[in-house]
Amino acid sequence: MSFHYTVETSKTVEQAVSDLSNELQTEKFGVLWDFDLSAKLQEKGMDFQTPYRVLEVCNPKEAERVLNEDKLVGYFLPCKIVVFEDQGQTKIGMPKPTTLLNLTGKENLNEIGNDIEKRLISCIEKSK
């Protein structure tokens, strides 16, 4: 079982980020931060040319639910979805919330994690 969920798309990184942001809004996930990792590395003098964006996304209601179960879940928040180019192919992916929440050892988080994961996967699938 993989720790991540990743798909390929024929869209550019820019278009995929835009479409994904719109899909996330339908599931009440806001994009808190759209981090252009490539630009930051270049700004620091690195020769990293691959388009690479990290979206930090959050649904406040779901964040409150998981934090009420275990404050350590905050280590995994907000959820990350990454849009990047790999050998000319745009990819959209994320670490699976279920995998991360399983690390807590608290079974009562499984149901919440499954729900969040299904909704985020739906957003990724609709934006690819």
Q: What is the pLDDT of residue 1?
A: 72
Q: Give the Cα separation of 93 and 77 in Å (integer).
A: 16
Q: How far is CA 73 from the centre of its chain?
A: 15
Q: pTM for the complete prediction?
A: 0.94
Question: Token pair of 17, please?
Answer: 């980020």
Domains located in the chain, CATH noted:
4-127 (3.30.310.70)
At 52 the three-state DSSP class reads strand
Judge whether 55 and 83 are in contact, CB under 8 Å: yes
Per-residue pLDDT of the chain (128 residues; tens, 9 = 90+): 799 999 999 999 999 999 999 999 999 999 999 999 999 999 999 999 999 999 999 999 999 999 999 999 999 999 999 999 999 999 999 999 999 999 999 998 999 999 999 999 999 999 99
Instruction: Kindly give, in sequence order, each residue whose CB lies less than 8 Å from that of residue 51, ignoring residues fewer than 6 positions away.
Output: 13, 38, 84, 85, 90
